[in-house]
Amino acid sequence: MKKSKKNKKQVSRRSALKFTAGAASTATALSMVPSSLLGVNQSKVNEQDEDQKFLIVLTNFGGGSINDSFLALSEDEVRAAGGDPEVINCYKDSQLVAVDGTPFKAVKLEHTMPALGNFQVVSDQSEFLRRHKQDITVVTSEGTSVNHGIAQQRSVNGNEAWAGRTIQEVAASFYGQGFSIPNMNMGSGGYAFDGGDSSLESYARGMSVSNPLYWPLSLSSSAKVSGVPSKAMMDLARDFRLRGIESQSNFMKTFKDDPKLSSWLNHREKTRPRFEQENLFEKLFFLDGAGDAATEKAKAMFPRYNKDTFDAQAIMSYLAITKGVSSVVTLGPNSSTSTSDKGIYEFYNIPIAFDFSHNDHRGAQAHMWQRMLRVTDGLIELLKATPYGTKGESYWDKTMIYMASDFGRSKTRPAGSEVFGSAHDLNNASVLISPMLKGNRVIGGIDPKTALTYGFDPVTGSPDRNKKTSEKEFYSVLTSALDIDGSAAGLPDFRKIVKK
Amino acid sequence: MHLKSIILLVAVFILSCGKGKFTNQGDSGSIEETLNPSENEGEITTTESASLALGSKLKFKKQKLLEQEIMTSLSLSQNQICQELESLNCINEAHHLTLGGVDAYDKNIWENKNSFLETTPIVVERIVWSACEKRVALDLESGESKIFSKGSVSDSSHVGLMVSNLYQNILARDASENEIAAAKEFASNLEKNGGTYDDWARLSCFSLMTSVEFLFY
Nearest to B25 among A21, A201, A247 (CB): A247
Nearest to B216 among A261, A267, A335 (CB): A261
> Do A229 and B9 meet the contact criterion of CB atoms below 8 Å apart?
no
Domain assignment of residue B20, yes or no:
no
What pLDDT is stored for residue A28 in this prediction?
33
E strand spans, B76-198:
83-84, 88-89
Domain assignment of residue B56, yes or no:
no
Rounded distance between C-alpha atoms, residue A81 and residue A70, angstroms: 19
Contact B7 A202 (CB under 8 A): no
Nearest chain A residue to B83 by CA: give it.
A225
Which chain B residues are within 8 Å of A22, Cβ to Cβ?
A: 14
B97 touches chain A (CB under 8 A): yes
Which chain B residues are within 8 Å of A14, Cβ to Cβ?
A: 41
Q: What percent of chain A has pLDDT over 90?
A: 87
Nearest to B31 among A226, A247, A336 (CB): A247
Domain assignment of residue B126, yes or no:
yes
Name the residue among A53, A50, A16, A56 with its Cα closest to residue A34. Answer: A16
Closest-CA distance of chain A to residue B79, Å: 16
**Mode of pairing for the β-strands spanning A54-60 and A328-331:** parallel
Contact B189 A237 (CB under 8 A): no
What pLDDT is stored for residue A154 in this prediction?
98
Report the sign of the C-alpha dihedral through residues A209, A213, A216, A221, in that order: negative
For A183, the 3-state DSSP assignment is strand
Alpha carbon distances (Å) from A220 to A1, A45, B114, B123, B154 = 41, 20, 21, 8, 32
**Which residues 113-142 of B have a C-beta within 8 angstroms of A?**
113-123, 125-126, 129-130, 133
Mean pLDDT of chain B, nearest integer: 83
Nearest to B44 among A228, A263, A335 (CB): A263
Closest-CA distance of chain B to residue A414, Å: 31
- DSSP labels for A465-477? TT----HHHHHHH
Highest average pLDDT, of A40-44, B63-67, B102-106, comes from B63-67
Domain assignment of residue B41, yes or no:
no
Q: What percent of chain B has pLDDT over 70?
A: 78
E strand spans, A196-335:
207-208, 328-331
Mean pLDDT of chain A, nearest integer: 90
**How many other C-beta atoms are found inside a 10 Å radius of the C-beta of residue A25?**
10
Domain assignment of residue B129, yes or no:
yes
Helix (H) or strand (E) holding A342: none
Summarize pLDDT for A40-50 with one digit per residue, the tens.
333 454 467 88
Nearest to A207 among B117, B126, B195 (CB): B117
Contact A260 B199 (CB under 8 A): no
Contact A259 B44 (CB under 8 A): yes
Contact B126 A217 (CB under 8 A): yes
Rounded distance between C-alpha atoms, residue A55 and residue B14, angstroms: 39
B66 touches chain A (CB under 8 A): no
Closest-CA distance of chain A to residue B147, Å: 18
Contact A207 B119 (CB under 8 A): yes
Name the residue among A316, A332, A322, A323 with its Cα closest to residue A216. Answer: A316
Nearest chain A residue to B205 by CA: give it.
A237
Name the residue among A167, A194, A176, A133 with its Cα closest to residue A478. Answer: A167
Summarize pLDDT for A258-277 with one digit per residue, the tens.
999 999 999 999 999 999 99
Nearest to B130 among A200, A214, A225 (CB): A225
* B-interface mutation test, from A6, A247, A336, A348, most B Cβ less than 10 A away: A247
Which chain A residues are within 8 Å of B197, Cβ to Cβ?
A: none
For A117, the 3-state DSSP assignment is coil
Domain assignment of residue B29, yes or no:
no
What pLDDT is stored for residue B55 in this prediction?
83
Closest-CA distance of chain B to residue A305, Å: 16
Summarize pLDDT for B122-176 with one digit per residue, the tens.
999 999 999 999 999 999 988 778 999 999 999 999 999 999 999 999 999 999 9
Summarize pLDDT for A182-224 with one digit per residue, the tens.
999 999 999 999 998 989 998 999 999 989 999 999 999 999 9
Rounded distance between C-alpha atoms, residue B150 and residue B204, angstroms: 15
Rounded distance between C-alpha atoms, residue B80 and residue B78, angstroms: 6
In DSSP terms, A238 is beta-bridged to none
Contact A248 B176 (CB under 8 A): yes
* Range from A26-40, A231-245, A386-400, B137-151 carrying the lowest mean pLDDT: A26-40
Which chain B residues are within 8 Å of A264, Cβ to Cβ?
A: 60, 116, 120-121, 212, 215-216
ipTM of the complex: 0.86
A197-223 exposure pattern, b = at least 16 Cβ within 10 A, e = fewer: bbebbbbbbbbbbbbbbbbbbbbbbbb
* A-interface mutation test, from B10, B54, B60, most A Cβ less than 10 A away: B10
Domain assignment of residue B3, yes or no:
no
Rounded distance between C-alpha atoms, residue A242 and residue A400, angstroms: 44
For A480, the 3-state DSSP assignment is helix
Rounded distance between C-alpha atoms, residue A256 and residue A302, angstroms: 48
A5-19 exposure pattern, b = at least 16 Cβ within 10 A, e = fewer: beeeeebbbbebbbb
Rounded distance between C-alpha atoms, residue A484 and residue A469, angstroms: 20
Contact B216 A149 (CB under 8 A): no
Q: A429 pLDDT band (50/70/90 cuts)?
A: very high
Rounded distance between C-alpha atoms, residue A8 and residue A15, angstroms: 13
What pLDDT is stored for residue B107 in this prediction?
87
Domain assignment of residue B46, yes or no:
no
Nearest to B179 among A245, A269, A287 (CB): A245
> Do A215 and B182 meet the contact criterion of CB atoms below 8 Å apart?
no
Which chain B residues are within 8 Å of A278, Cβ to Cβ?
A: none
Nearest to A236 among B15, B117, B193 (CB): B193
Nearest chain B residue to A349 by CA: give it.
B106
Nearest to B45 among A202, A210, A240 (CB): A202
Whole-structure pTM value: 0.88
Domain span at B137? 61-215
> Do A406 and A60 meet the contact criterion of CB atoms below 8 Å apart?
yes
> Do B26 and B179 meet the contact criterion of CB atoms below 8 Å apart?
no
Rounded distance between C-alpha atoms, residue A91 and residue A87, angstroms: 11
Rounded distance between C-alpha atoms, residue A261 and residue A263, angstroms: 5
Between A and B, how many residue pairs show a Cβ–Cβ distance under 8 A? 300
Domain count, chain B: 1
Which chain A residues are within 8 Å of B187, Cβ to Cβ?
A: none
Closest-CA distance of chain B to residue A55, Å: 21
